[in-house]
Each structure stands twice: as structure tokens, then as C-alpha cells.
Amino acid sequence: MSEPIISLQGVTKEFDTKSGKVVALKDINLDIQKGDSYGIIGLSGAGKSTLVRTINLLEQPTEGKVLFDGHLLTGLSSKELNLQRRRISMIFQQFNLLMQRDATGNISFPLEIAGSSKAETSKKVKELLKVVDLEERAHSYPSQLSGGQKQRVAIARALASDPEVILCDEATSALDPKTTRSILSLLRQINEERGITLVVITHEMEVIKQLCNKVAVIENGEIVERGEVSEVFARPKTKAARRLFFPDSAEMEVPATRTAVKNRLRLAFNEQTAYKPIIANMILEIGEPVNMLYANMDALLDEQKGQMVIALSDDKRIAEKQKAYLIKEGVDFTEIPEDSDYYDYPVNGPTEEVNN
């Protein structure tokens, strides 16, 4: 594997407050490869925004190293750091546009700082307005733009310096669902067509599913799980990941008679099995019903993935036949103990991390 474009090594960040020292990040080790669309997800206060701000050293880590494209950023002078930062752009939740400048003026701002000529700046701005589909709003001020249009201006401004990396800090949190989908589609297009690495900070799992190929789950300032989005979706190893990927399952009201439900399995369906009527065919072939307790289907980028919790027959002999049928059909599953909630067990079986 090639050298990562971003590498955090043993990064810890502490803040001194009136009530004492707060540890926002604890020994973070994270590598992001060039061309990744890497999602970092966690609940409010998990440390994700602090983490993204350490990548471009807007927050200096208390301990550890930050490397960009093989170059050590921690320890650089302000002048040297600013030169490296030109290769890393950032998009914010609240857009951070200059209200006294129109769309053209906002996009041209980083080019002016870099000393580009008026002719070069004008040409680049026209190209970027076309990329974000705002050619007709070139002279509109932020107060005249919708939230989605403001974020498109912010994306064009981020692209103006020809960055290698764009950091997206909750970039769609202030937008409605339809606008969010259009912005995520634009960011995905930028990632795929321009090869720009995206680092996406979010608390919304839908953002991860629609945009990212890799994900890291952060909880209490620590990375508790990481990997390909498709793999973490199918086989989450920690309770934190399972609660984020399957909130409906995690928050489900479990009846008082839960412990009487035996022979439960959590199933994982991939692109090959998601569209097949496997459960229906199993019932027809074996001649015994199953109880479906939970089901969820999701699109991860262009692939369909699914999860289901079922209860097999109480008859042990029939239950073994049902499991053999699932194995034959290529469906991954794990057995869920009677005294465990649905989200307590990943699809690849219990691990020592189950009770995290």
C-alpha cells in the first residue's frame, strides 16, 4: 500500500478549562489514503470536530505527530505550515462565506490571497461556478442564496486552490434532506472525477452510506472501530458502531418476554443476496415459519446491503436445517444469546469487544 496522504500518529489533544483538564482526543492513530472518501462519525462531544481540526493544525495536538503527504506538519513554522495548508481546503457547517462579497467574490478570495492574476482568477471562477452548477448566481450575495447554494459556493471556494484534500466538517448538517443528497452527490463527483481526498466529519450515518468508502467510529475521544464502510456495516465489532449503523435496532422497544425468544440470528445480506427471497424460499423448502424481528436495507454508495434479525424454529433439528439453508445461500449470520439485545452481537459472531 502506498504512503498515506494523511497520517495521525499517537495524537492526543487536551484542553484546560475552569473545571479542569479535558481530554478531547486520546492516542489517535489514523491513516487516510490518497483518493479516499473517509468518514469519521460519532455522537455530539465524541471529539470528531477536534480531530478534523488537528489534520490541518487549526488545533495543535498536545502529543503526537500529524503528517501530510509524508511531511511532518507538527513543528513547522507558521509560514511553512500556511504553504502546506494551501493543499488542504475545508468546508464548514455554516458555510463561512463573506457576506459583503457575491458568489464570484467568495470563490476568488483564496486565489487573490495566492496572488493569481485577474485573468487567471476570472477564468478559474467561471470554471468552478460551472462545476457547482451556479453560473446563473455568479453575482448573488449570500443573503440571496439558499442553504444549498451557499454550500455550493463554499465547495467552489474550497476547490479554487486545487487542493489534494478537502475536510468537510458537518458540511450538510444545516441542510434539508433533499439538498443534502445533492451536496453529497456533488462531493462524490469531485472525489471520483478529480481524485481529491475527502475527510468527512459527521454524526449522520446517511452521509457515510452515501459518500464514504471508509469509516472510523470515534467515541469519547478514541477511535473504537475503522474499516471499509461495507465491512463495518455487515460486521460491526463494537456496540458504538452498531448503535450508529442500526439506530432503529438499538432503540427498539424490546418486549418483556424477550428472553423467551430463542434461536435468534442476525443475518447480513450483501449485493449478491440482498435481492433474493431467501427467507421466503427457506420457509417453502423446509416447511417451517420463522419470526422476523428486525429488518433494514441500505444503499452503501452503489451497493445494496441488508440486515435482519430472525427467530428460528424452537425445534433444534429444524433450526439446524434452517441454518444449513442460510449457509448454502451464502448469508452471513451469528447466533444471538437469549439475554442479549439485538445490537449486542455483530454478524461475524461474539468478540471480546461485544460489551464495549
Domain ranges in the chain? 6-237, 244-344
- Lowest model confidence (mean pLDDT) among 20-24, 119-123, 343-347: 343-347
**Residue 76 reports pLDDT greater than 70:** yes
- The pLDDT of 336-347, averaged and rounded, is 57
- Check residue 351 and give its pLDDT: 36
**Residue 119 reports pLDDT greater than 80:** yes
| pLDDT band for position 232 (cuts 50, 70, 90) | confident
- 244-344 has the same fold as 6-237: no
φ and ψ at 350, to 5 degrees?
-60, 145
* Sign of the CA dihedral with 208 first, then 214, 217, and 218 last: negative
Unique residue bearing C-alpha cell 445494496:
304
**Residue 322 reports pLDDT greater than 70:** yes
- The pLDDT of 158-176, averaged and rounded, is 91
φ and ψ at 188, to 5 degrees?
-65, -40
Which residues have CB under 8 Å from 162's CB, separation 6+? none
CATH class of the domain comprising 244-344: alpha beta
| pLDDT band for position 267 (cuts 50, 70, 90) | confident
Question: At the fourth CATH level, which superfamily is domain 6-237?
Answer: P-loop containing nucleotide triphosphate hydrolases (3.40.50.300)
- Check residue 335 and give its pLDDT: 82
Q: Nearest CA to 128 among 99, 93, 161? A: 161
| pLDDT band for position 343 (cuts 50, 70, 90) | very low
| pLDDT band for position 299 (cuts 50, 70, 90) | low
CA–CA distance, 175 with 193 (Å, rounded to integer): 24
- The pLDDT of 169-177, averaged and rounded, is 87
- Check residue 261 and give its pLDDT: 65
Q: Nearest CA to 222 among 16, 31, 62, 12? A: 12
